[in-house]
Chains A and B, each alone.
Chain A
Amino acid sequence: MQLSGNSSGSPVPETAPVLATLMDLGRGDAAILEHIELPGDDARRLMELGFLPGARVTAGLSAPGGDPRVFQVDGSEIALRRETARRVKVRRDKKTSRPK
């Protein structure tokens, strides 16, 4: 339903996976979670909600101004503030940024 992530910002090579954060995803973009750069307990909280390495995360709607943003992960919709989303590293591959 949305444009592919490649159209916004810097061009992403089709082959090599590129590390980005959840903040870099546009609405409808999906990516694979790599790791969470947060202290143990905070990372656990996120993981209990489904933000696990290898999980597929899709960026959804957001509050006005883009913060916080809703992410679809593991069957749930979880809103994260920008400061948290920035700490979640994801890998884009060509498969994930296709429109769904």
Chain B
Amino acid sequence: MSQCGDCRSCAPAGVLEFPAQTGTPRAVAVIGPPNSGKTTLFNRLTGLRQKVANFPGVTVEQHTGVAELPDGRPLQMIDLPGIYSLSPRSEDEQVAYDVLNGLRPDTPKPEAILLVLDSTNLGRHLMLAAPILALGIPTLIVLNFADDLRRRAGKLELTALSAELGAPVVLISARQGEGIGRVFDFLAGALPKPAPKQLPILQDVPKCREWAGRVGAEARYRAPLPPAWTRRLDCIFLHPVAGPLIFLLVVAGVFETIFVAGGPVTDWVQSLFDRSGSWLGAMLPHSVLTSLLLDGIWRGVGSVVKFLPQVLLLFLFIGILEDSGYLARAALIADRTMARVGLQGKSFIPLLSAYACAVPAIMATRTIENKRDRIATILIAPFMTCSARLPVYTLVIPAFLPNRGLLGPFTQAAAMLGLYVLGFVVAVITAKVLKSSVLKSGRTPFLLEMPSYRWPTFQSLGLRLVDRSKVFLRRAGTVILLAMVVLWLAENLPTQNGHAPAIESSLAGTIGRTIEPAIKPLGFNWRIGIGLITSLAARETIVGTMATIYGMEPDTQKMDMQKALHADLTAGGAVALLIFFAFAMQCFSTVAVVRRETGGWKWPAFQFAYMGALAYAGAFIAFHLVG
């Protein structure tokens, strides 16, 4: 792009007639500043024919889709991240720059560009047109929010703007579907190379803004009136007293729904899998293969799918919050509190959701643009006491802590609360340490744009849910499935006369015995060791594993779980076990999702090791303190 440092000399005078070119573009990039409605347009054009992945090696998500032209020809669309400029300083800008210049081997160089700009804020948004037009790729300028512009009495002359920019311009409303046909018409026809009357020096921001202003003036752009409804709503949502109250209500509502409504649905899906599993077990012949199918694969699928209701609920909420514009206000209100631990306002909702489940929480960090803040939020999210820890806590606490003594009937509840606080405190300390060392943001200023309030559309919300479900099921599903099969093999090998071995003589049992010396300092024996290994897949698995182990052992068969556990652990060991579960990252789903969201194994490996080390140290100290 710098080859065009000053294009005043090389740009010919106004070309109004677009030279006809043959051939339809095969790959089209959609680009625009944040809040330009770029993704809404992309959704309109591609609908359900979308694929979502990560650009290899970076945390930037890659949305591609197929748009069908009126004559039936397919067109590959690439949705690029929202950017303010094309000078590659952030990861998002780097990806956009590389894709547009054909520098990424994984993405075809786009043959045309849809530049989406907010027509209600044309002066500033036109600044991005300069570097995009300078690329020399055929470009259609799409001015979005036509409805807003009209309602707020703004206007402009499209032909004059088109003449200034030397590129076709359409005015649309992606949300309402207005003008989408025109976009298709342009894509179906031959888009010319842009021939702007002049371009500013791209590196000079004030010059670019001056240029944008001049172009706007030539097009007789009249900026719309201030968004009256947005101002009015902000007076409520950012009111010194009412604002925080509404914020708390919204937050409590989201949390309550995920936890209280999502929890039972998750249990219901789990029981659906359990029941269908035993039904299938009764139907199928008793064999090793059946066991692999049911205890390995079916259980593995169930362990992923059961989280889907919570994932969908959370993303429905986040979708509504984000599309309506409230998320930016919530982030503003939460910012000061989160800044105390080195994070920012947008980390709040993901961290809160992590109390239900870290998996959707980590997926929700996508709303945090700052990469370091985002990774820090991902790294501390699993410390929040998720719902999978509850079965373990409710098994172990009552086994060792009777509801009497100083706190009477509240003793067990207090212990539970203590574990919640412990997770939170460790998360805060971790965030502080990370943000003052490896993830230090430097002096990068915190900037938060407040978009106008808008009604979310069903299409946008629906596509978002489909999108997140696909990401969750495919990526988490494959890794977890593999892990569950490996786990099944460990529990069922080596076979004894064609039958599965008793768990203590299985591979898992052998591993349990092998690691016993390592976990003895924590007060755990080999049986707990097996439980720890199986709980690597998902925390609550330890409950089932311990039941299997105790059920198999003649001397503990008659005892109930808690009594059996009491025989296996000292009080110190029990506290150590609780602390171990509070800290350790025993959840394949989370590991898989962190790998996906951070674009590699570096951060999940670090996180797993860090949380594991902390769990070990915490359990060690607890065991030796309590004795």
Residues of A at the B interface (CB closer than 8 Å) are: 38-39, 41-42, 44-50, 52-53, 60-65, 67-68, 70, 72, 74-81, 83-84, 87
Total A-B Cβ pairs within 8 A = 104
CA distance A72 to B230 in the complex (A): 13
Q: A44-B87, A61-B235, A70-B332 are in contact. List 9 more A-B contacts (CB 8 A).
A: A49-B447, A52-B206, A63-B238, A74-B209, A75-B123, A75-B223, A79-B446, A79-B447, A84-B447
Instruction: Report if B605 contacts A (CB, 8 A).
Output: no
B450–A38 touching, CB < 8 Å: no
A63 touches B332 (CB 8 A): yes
With contact pairs A63-B332, A63-B335, A81-B339 given, residues A45 and B447 touching in the complex (Cβ less than 8 Å): yes
9 smallest beta-carbon distances between A and B, as pairs: A77-B450, A84-B445, A47-B205, A79-B448, A61-B238, A48-B84, A75-B121, A81-B446, A63-B332
The CA-CA distance from A72 to B449 in the complex, in Å, is: 10
Give CA–CA (A81, B240) in the complex, Å. Answer: 17
Shortest C-beta distance, B126 to chain A (Å), equals 11
Check B333–A48 contact: CB distance below 8 A.
no
Q: Are B85 and A48 in contact (CB under 8 A)?
A: yes
CA distance A50 to B212 in the complex (A): 12
B21: interface (CB < 8 Å): no
Assess the A63–B336 pair: CB atoms within 8 A: yes
Q: Which residues of A contact B226 (CB under 8 A)?
A: 72
Task: Give 26 CB contacts A-B under 8 Å.
Answer: A38-B445, A44-B205, A45-B84, A48-B205, A49-B447, A52-B205, A52-B206, A53-B206, A60-B234, A61-B234, A62-B332, A63-B332, A63-B333, A64-B240, A64-B333, A67-B335, A68-B446, A68-B448, A70-B332, A70-B450, A74-B124, A77-B449, A79-B450, A81-B445, A84-B447, A87-B445
- Are A49 and B443 in contact, CB atoms less than 8 angstroms apart? no
* Residues of B with C-beta under 8 A to A45: 84, 444-445, 447
Q: Nearest CB to that of A71 among chain B residues?
A: B450
Within 8 A of A (CB), among B205-244: 205-206, 209, 223, 226, 230, 234-235, 238, 240, 243-244
Chain B residues, Cβ within 8 Å of A39: 443
A79–B333 CA distance with the chains assembled, in angstroms:
11
* Contacts of B234-281 to chain A: CB distance below 8 A: 234-235, 238, 240, 243-244
Tell me the nearest residue of chain A to B247, going by C-beta: A64
Q: Is the CB of A76 within 8 A of B449?
A: yes
Of the candidates A49, A67, A74, the one whose C-beta lies within 8 Å of that of B336 is A67
Q: Say what secondary structure dominates the interface of chain A.
A: mixed
Cα A67 to Cα B332 in complex, Å, equals 8
Q: Are B127 and A48 in contact (CB under 8 A)?
A: yes
Query: What separation, in Å, do the CA atoms of A83 and B206 have in the docked complex?
Result: 23
By DSSP majority rule, is chain B's interface helix, strand, loop, or mixed?
Answer: helix
Q: Which of A50, A63, A75 has the most CB of B within 10 A?
A: A63
Q: Hey, which chain A residues are within 8 Å of B602, CB to CB?
A: none
> B450 and A46: CB pair below 8 A?
no
Nearest-CB distance from B450 to chain A (Å)?
Answer: 4
B404 partner residues in chain A, CB cutoff 8 A: none
In whole angstroms, what is the CA distance A48 to B130 when docked? 13
Q: How far is the CB of A23 from chain B (nearest CB, A)?
A: 13
The answer to the question of B89 belonging to the interface, with a C-beta cut-off of 8 Å to chain A, is: yes
1/0 per residue, CB under 8 A from A, across B301-314: the answer is 00000000000000
Within 8 A of A (CB), among B290-310: none
- B40 an interface residue at 8 Å Cβ cutoff? no
Does B353 sit within 8 A of A, measured CB to CB? no
State in angstroms the CA–CA spacing of A48 and B125 once bound together. Answer: 9
CB closest residue in chain B, given A50: B124
Identity of the chain B residue whose Cβ is nearest the Cβ of A72 in the assembled complex? B226
Q: Is the CB of B124 within 8 A of A80?
A: no
Q: Answer whether residue B43 sits at the interface, using C-beta atoms and an 8 A cutoff.
A: no
Which of B124, B206, B235, B446 interacts with A76 by CB under 8 Å?
A: B124
B89 touches A68 (CB 8 A): no
Which of the residues B234, B328, B446 comes within 8 Å of A80, measured between beta carbons?
A: B446
A80→B226 CA distance, assembly (Å): 20
> Which B residues are in CB contact (< 8 Å) with A75?
120-121, 123-124, 223
Q: How far is the CB of B85 from chain A (nearest CB, A)?
A: 5
* CB–CB B205/A64 < 8 A: no
Chain A's closest residue to B238 (CB) is: A61
**Distance between Cα atoms of A76 and B332 in the complex (Å):** 15
